[in-house]
Amino acid sequence: MQLLASVLVCFPEIEAVSYEPRQELLTMDFVVRARLDPSEIEDFAAFLAESIETYYVIEGGAASEMDFSYEQHDALTILHLARRMDELSERELSLTVQLLTERFGEALLVDPHGAEALDTEFRTLQHETLERMLMAVREIPLRDRLVGIRERDQVVVYNR
């Protein structure tokens, strides 16, 4: 549970996160305050996949394919990105969030109570803790279906 909470604390751009143990997938939800054209979403998904693949080539590894989907509601687009938990790193999450921020700018919903509002030392500690937890999960996988969401100025994680 702490892992999902740390993802949300470290990355205020992630609106919700869920873990499915059967597929060992962590799904992150990002909200863009705009109704994006499907071709724009597909272009970004291809760019993100290529960027993650390049990151892993530089790091000396290989990444499996990511699962990218979206849904639209009025003037909002919700992007769903699923990655294998045993491959995920804090640095990959940082890269993903950076690319989303660069691409969608002010339209990307960011929790105002997020990481930037935290003390620098606490923020650094949270990122280090997140990386350690991601490494530990490779050895001892999570067994429960979990969901983490933002609720006002809090992060809530529960079993599904």
Q: List Cβ neighbours of 62 (8 Å cut-off, separation of 6 or more).
A: 53, 56
Using DSSP, state whether 137 is helix, strand or coil: helix
Based on the structure, what is the number of domains in the chain? 1
Residue 7's pLDDT is 94
Phi and psi of 69, rounded to 5°? -140, 175
Residue 112's pLDDT is 85
Q: List Cβ neighbours of 79 (8 Å cut-off, separation of 6 or more).
A: 29, 30, 31, 32, 41, 68, 69, 70, 100
Which CATH number goes with the domain that contains 23? 3.30.70
| Domain extent at residue 33 | 2-159
Q: What is the pTM of this model?
A: 0.91
Where is pLDDT greater, at 113 or 115?
A: 113
The pLDDT tens digits for 23-37 are: 999 999 999 999 999
Where is pLDDT greater, at 68 or 113?
A: 68
DSSP string, 48-64: HHHHHHHHHHHHT---P
The C-alpha atoms of residue 71 and residue 77 are separated, in whole angstroms, by 6
The pLDDT tens digits for 48-80 are: 999 999 999 998 887 777 899 999 999 999 999
Residue 2's pLDDT is 85
Q: How confident is the model at residue 83 (pLDDT cuts 50, 70, 90)?
A: very high
